[in-house]
Amino acid sequence: MVTRDVETPLLRDPRPLNATSPEAETGRDERPLSVAYLSPGWPPEAFANGVIPCIAAVADELRRRGHRASILSLRTVGGGGEDVHDLSRAGASSALPRRLLDSLARRLPYRVARTLRPHQPLDALPRFVAEHGAQILEMEEAFGWASWARRKVGIPVVVRLHGPWFLNGPLQGAPDDDTFRRRVREEGESIRTADGVTAPSQDVLERTRAYYGLELEGAAVIPNPMPPVSAERRWRPEGCDPGLVLFVGRFDRHKGGDLMIDAFAEVAREFPGVRLCFVGPDFGASGGDGVRWGLVDYVRDRIPGALESGRVEWLGQQPSTAVAELRRRARVTVVCSRYETFGLTATEAMAHGCPLVATRAGALPEVVRDGVDGLLCRPDDPSDLARAIGRLLADPDLAARLGARAAEECGKRYHPAVIAGQLMEYYEEVITRRRERVEA
């Protein structure tokens, strides 16, 4: 744990989650506000990054309610659209020494480049804020950039705990070296000094408090939004393939792609006709013996002949429209991550009304209620995962009941109108606190 030798940030008044209805939130009369969001990329469909669709859903809702929501993208594919600003282009340096430094940084290894120009992607941020009148900036904790931004922009900065590196780094295979420890330190400093902190789950907030030794008294738990799916585009028992299991995620230890294969090997022995559709990239996974496996070799070792026979189908990365169609086809959708700060893949499945099995890992038990809108199993336990999958394969009535409740609950709890209302209330509190400190 990183010990705290600095003062607690000026965050007060812990806020419980008020999960009001979309209808109630839609009718609220709010003072127009200009909010800027720092996004890893844009548009959402061009990047496999869960942060981006969350920003998009909230921004769309804020604009619908009469607020201004600007997207500051670190990388943009295509034109971007209205109120989308590509920092990678706008931040080009004009001074000769800076241009030379940028050119050198692009030719050096990443960790060296980060030392030379640690905040280079954000160079245009202060100018944008000054020119466009943003009143508050939200950005994730990544790389600790929020500390630099807060010193430069002159407006309140809210840090959103999308994926602190002390949690996600080890699961993604990051070595415990100086680079890892420096990033973790800098992220902790950005969280400590932020004007506000929001977390998509209670789990990630409590882990962050404990790791860094911070009270974060005014931090708010506000889930990620999930746009509703119309009834005609949801999963239906009569329209699904009763023998198809779907996994959407990376093949790595973080998302549990290896657990999915191990569990399916057990499911396949009990249900001879069942098939697995694996959607996502192959990042590789290390086993307990230290051997690093690719997806194809791992399947061939655990379930010989499954790829050749079509028993296991690997589709790689797919566009959202294709994934939505697969969700409607599968009898069971599985999320078996070893940790999630929220679980966007789970809420995507729930919004589609899919019968869902998820692990009791990180925030997933906050999202999926066992026996109510999905089934939960023990994390890192392929046998328990296989049993839960088998229950839904064997009991179509249970699968249909859980799927229908999932769509209903997801629409109530994670509707963008509900989440936007909670965020706007929190932004107003942060702006007021910042103004009171400045005037004191």
pLDDT computed for residue 30 by the predictor: 57
Cα 175 to Cα 171, 180, 181, 338, distances in angstroms = 10, 7, 9, 18
Residue 186: both structure tokens together: 């800098």
Instruction: Give the sign of the dihedral formed by CA 197, CA 141, CA 414, CA 392.
Output: negative
pLDDT computed for residue 15 by the predictor: 40
Cβ burial, residue 144 (10 Å; 0-12/13-18/19+): buried
H helix or E strand, kind and range, residue 327:
helix 320-329
H helix or E strand, kind and range, residue 125:
helix 125-132
Residue 309: both structure tokens together: 């026979």
pLDDT tens per residue, range 319-366: 999 999 999 999 999 999 999 999 999 999 999 999 999 999 999 999
Report how far residue 259's alpha carbon sits from residue 257's, in angstroms, rounded to the nearest whole number.
Answer: 5
pLDDT at residue 288 greater than cutoff 60: yes
Report how far residue 16's alpha carbon sits from residue 22's, in angstroms, rounded to the nearest whole number.
Answer: 18
Lookup result for tokens 């004007």: 195
Query: Which of 70, 363, 395, 10 is CA-nearest to residue 214?
Result: 10
pLDDT computed for residue 431 by the predictor: 96
Residue 242: both structure tokens together: 């009763």
pLDDT tens per residue, range 94-141: 444 444 444 434 443 434 444 434 566 788 899 888 888 899 999 999
Cα 149 to Cα 126, 128, 146, distances in angstroms = 8, 12, 5
Q: Please answer whether residues 229 and 351 qualify as being in contact, where contact means their C-beta atoms are separated by less than 8 angstroms.
A: yes
Q: What is the CATH number of domain 231-413?
A: 3.40.50.2000
pLDDT computed for residue 90 by the predictor: 65
Q: What is the CATH number of domain 22-225+415-439?
A: 3.40.50.2000
What integer best gives the mean pLDDT of the chain? Answer: 88
Strand pairing class (285-286; 292-293) = antiparallel
- Give me the percent of the chain exceeding a pLDDT of 90: 74
Displacement of CA 420 from its chain's centroid (Å): 17
pLDDT computed for residue 290 by the predictor: 74
Cα 199 to Cα 72, 160, 294, 329, 333, distances in angstroms = 20, 6, 33, 33, 26
Residue 219: both structure tokens together: 């931090």
Lookup result for tokens 């607020």: 67
- Quick one: average pLDDT of 177-206? 97
Report how far residue 409's alpha carbon sits from residue 218's, in angstroms, rounded to the nearest whole number.
Answer: 27
Lookup result for tokens 């929001």: 198
Q: How many CB atoms lie within 10 A of CB 348?
A: 24
Residue 404: both structure tokens together: 């229908």
SS3 at position 389: helix
In residues, how long is the chain? 440
Query: Which of 260, 419, 285, 294 is CA-nearest to residue 344?
Result: 419
- Quick one: average pLDDT of 54-77? 95
Report how far residue 308's alpha carbon sits from residue 388's, in angstroms, rounded to the nearest whole number.
Answer: 26
Say yes or no: do domains 22-225+415-439 and 231-413 share a fold.
yes
Sequence ranges of the domains in the chain: 22-225+415-439, 231-413
196-199 sheet: strands from edge to edge: 84-86, 68-73, 34-39, 136-140, 157-160, 196-199, 220-221
